[in-house]
Structure 1
Amino acid sequence: MTQRAGFAESTTENSPSLWGARAAVAERAVVARHVRRVWGLPGTRLGVAGWPQSVNNRLHGHWNYWWQAHLLDCLVDAQERQPSRTRAGMIARVVRGIHLRNLGSWTNDYYDDIAWLGLALMRANDCERVPVVAAMNRIAARLRSGWTDHGGGGIWWRREDDFKNVPANGPAAILFARWASRGGERQDRQRARSMTEWMSQVLVDPGTGLLWDGVYVRPDGSIRDIVKVTYTYCQGVYIGACVELARGDRSGVWVERAARTINAVAAHLNDELVVRGRGGGDGGLFAGILTRYLAQAALRLPSPAADVARALVMGSAGAAWRNRALAPSGPLFGPEWSKPARVPRSPAHRRVERDLSVQLSGWMVLEAAALLERSPG
């Protein structure tokens, strides 16, 4: 089947509240299985890294900082879908839990991690007026300090490293594009443009239009190696940055670049309109990240790019739901939405369905579909 035929023949259900109901079921399942207090302390919540839970999981011994940012993002998605006081309280408790488990700090050494938390905090503030100014000032200052001219520009993946990549520059660019009008510096929007321009000039594969992962640089600033791997994560954050920069831009360049990348995803990174997965661990979040920003593109770009983005989101959501497994508290999602999920039997069962990252990704794609359901194109 050709891509064009696939878009024409895709059949997603059209009930006005179907995807909202499915997202709600996914939310209840993830919260019931994964969300717990931090060290038993009242007024806190975090996502447990694995289910069924090991003792180390229950104690939040393995600290997945950026997974928690996506848990917070998903809770904000749900609050925008159907506001509730209970969830509003949970959002505030997750913010407190992140700060506590990160030992009283909002930042760490990874620029991508802190960009994700900053994005989630901004949305929590927009949705529930969670106080974020102090946290955002710390995060934005750290991200600004990550820019150097090594490799032609961009920020580092982590402090004191020799690697610059899309996974750090993409979310940082989205953050600066948004923070510039919410309390950041006037130059922050230009920082967003510079980061996205650097990705466009250095890391776009001329053959496919997809974004490569990143570059290693020498001490003198020259590029030593280009990591020519194409992750769904990279496409999602680049699309998200271009969509943010397209707002108020008359040149059309950002719309054009976002559309090019969406078409490249449609040509190379899906199977019958289902975005491909990347296993468990951190990779479990990659497909969900892409669908989050495809949904934004579907809402804010003109056709035909918006139509392609919408088809990819709805096709992925449909597959994730069809291939869910039945587990305690509700559906459980697999790392590959086109394949049936399998329920892990115990903490020792080596199935990536245990990972919070994989379950957040499944919840995320259903929230993306619910968002598009509320805003039909």
Structure 2
Amino acid sequence: MAAADVDWSERAGIAERAVLRRHLRRVGGVVPGTRIGRVHWPRRVPSAPFPWHYWWQAHLLDCLLDAQLRRPERHKASGIAALARTVRLRNAGSWLNRYYDDIAWLGLAVQRAGTLAGRSGPSALAAITTRLHEGWTEGGGGGLWWRRDDDFKNAPANGPAAILVARDGQVGFAAAITDWVAETLVDPDSGLIRDGVRIAPDGTVRAVEPYIYTYCQGVHLGACVELAARDGHQRWTDRAISLVDAVMQRLAGPDGVLPGSGGGDGGLFAGITARYLADAALRVPELAAPASQLVFANADAAWKGRAEIAGGPVFSAEWRDLAPEPRAGLPEADLSVQLGGWMLMEAAARLQGANRHR
């Protein structure tokens, strides 16, 4: 069955129910009014409390919001507010940690949730945006650090930070961040976004980390698309078009399917890029066809490669491959991998829904 002939909203709903049934739990399994994403299924025994994967919870919150926007229901809305509250509780009463990329992701999810995040929204956004401003220095020509007290500035911190502050109306700051990424991290040979740069004590660039990660493309694309809508300067649209072309030609395979990055944090990488490809397809007319093509090619591959376990899909860490039955030590047991697949289904559903209403 062709991707255009299926109901992607239905498939997103199936993915939603599978992930929540397996992973969404009360803190410690017992604390009333709390909701948090269990990081492995099947659960590892014994289960270590740390690291607790703060930024995975931010993407779980974003996926919950996708589901609520696709099909609003009261219990989903209450789940969004509960997860937002619980992140702070689980994080020792703070919205912040050392990592600027982590807090930018949570800020984006809470910002997008708006009133659905309940009373958590204003305090989270105030703390996070203040901290992001503190992360900018002129070393290496600008940009935010990856984490506090480090020598590394990278795309994964600067991309979501730029999207967040642009949506907050801080267009000048967002433009400065995104220009820095474009001027510093674009690979001259491929046109893709490299990981980051190491900064020497005197503020000069000591080394470029040349690794090409899928989600670096997604977050820079998202920043360019956001600024194209808010600033209107042609460079944002031009950069978005060039980047999608580079992803198609240099990163995706001949079938249009993005590479996976294993489990752990890498399980989220391709799903994040799918989210911002869908955003680009809907907001940049020149990208409606190519960005949509990428989203649907990946969604079709991931769905075909799923395993049906305990009444629901398990997505493969490599979307073009068949998923094995998840067990401890396999990437498919990680919440991140399953969130990436769910996020992809929501991106396809959003595009299909928009196309039907045109």
TM-score range, shorter chain: over 0.9
2:115–2:121 Cα contact (<8 Å) kept: no
Inter-partner Cα distance in structure 2 for 1:306 and 1:167: 25
Which of 57, 66, 70 aligns to 1:77? It is 66
Which of 146, 158, 164 aligns to 1:157? It is 146
Unaligned regions of 5+ residues in structure 2, if any?
none
2:274 maps to 1:274 = no
Between 1:363-372 and 1:272-281, the stretch displaced more is 272-281
Inter-partner Cα distance in structure 1 for 2:348 and 2:49: 31
Which of 15, 22, 43 aligns to 1:33? It is 22
1:33–1:329 Cα contact (<8 Å) kept: no
**Residue identity in the other structure for 1:67:** W
2:53 maps to 1:53 = no
2:68–2:76 Cα contact (<8 Å) kept: yes
Deviations 1:31-82 (A, max 9, x none): 000110012111111110101012454x754310000000000000000000
Which of 311, 323, 326 aligns to 1:341? It is 323
Inter-partner Cα distance in structure 2 for 1:56 and 1:102: 21
**Residue matched to 1:6:** none
Inter-partner Cα distance in structure 2 for 1:74 and 1:31: 10
1:352–1:358 Cα contact (<8 Å) kept: yes
**Residue identity in the other structure for 1:176:** V
Count, aligned residues: 354
2:81–2:116 Cα contact (<8 Å) kept: no
Unaligned regions of 5+ residues in structure 1, if any?
1-9, 181-187
For residue 275 of structure 1, report the CA deviation from its aligned partner.
1.3
Corresponding residue SS for 1:98:
helix
Inter-partner Cα distance in structure 2 for 1:350 and 1:131: 35
For residues 249 and 141 of structure 1, do their structure 2 counterparts lie closer, same or farther at Cα, with a shift above 3 Å needed? closer
Between 1:244-253 and 1:305-314, the stretch displaced more is 244-253
**Residue matched to 1:371:** 350
For residues 97 and 60 of structure 1, do their structure 2 counterparts lie closer, same or farther at Cα, with a shift above 3 Å needed? farther
Inter-partner Cα distance in structure 2 for 1:130 and 1:364: 25
Which of 150, 157, 170 aligns to 1:168? It is 157
For residues 222 and 28 of structure 1, do their structure 2 counterparts lie closer, same or farther at Cα, with a shift above 3 Å needed? same
Which of 5, 29, 34 aligns to 1:14? It is 5
Inter-partner Cα distance in structure 1 for 2:277 and 2:119: 26
Inter-partner Cα distance in structure 2 for 1:126 and 1:310: 30
2:37–2:57 Cα contact (<8 Å) kept: yes
1:38–1:60 Cα contact (<8 Å) kept: no
Inter-partner Cα distance in structure 2 for 1:243 and 1:130: 29
Inter-partner Cα distance in structure 2 for 1:37 and 1:129: 18
TM-score by length of 1: 0.91
Corresponding residue SS for 2:295:
helix
For residues 170 and 197 of structure 1, do their structure 2 counterparts lie closer, same or farther at Cα, with a shift above 3 Å needed? same
**Residue matched to 1:284:** 267
User: How do 1:112-191 and structure 2 match up within 5 A?
Assistant: 112-125=101-114, 131-180=120-169, 188-191=170-173
Which of 182, 198, 201 aligns to 2:180? It is 198
Corresponding residue SS for 2:172:
helix
Which of 302, 311, 317 aligns to 2:285? It is 302
For residues 56 and 174 of structure 1, do their structure 2 counterparts lie closer, same or farther at Cα, with a shift above 3 Å needed? farther
| Aligned alpha-carbon RMSD (Å) | 1.5
2:337 maps to 1:358 = yes
Between 1:131-140 and 1:22-31, the stretch displaced more is 131-140
Inter-partner Cα distance in structure 2 for 1:190 and 1:25: 41
1:79–1:127 Cα contact (<8 Å) kept: no
Corresponding residue SS for 1:290:
helix
2:313 maps to 1:323 = no
* Structure whose residues are more often helix by fraction: 2
For residue 126 of structure 1, report the CA deviation from its aligned partner.
5.5
For residue 274 of structure 1, report the CA deviation from its aligned partner.
1.1
**Residue identity in the other structure for 1:159:** R
TM-score by length of 2: 0.96
1:324–1:331 Cα contact (<8 Å) kept: yes
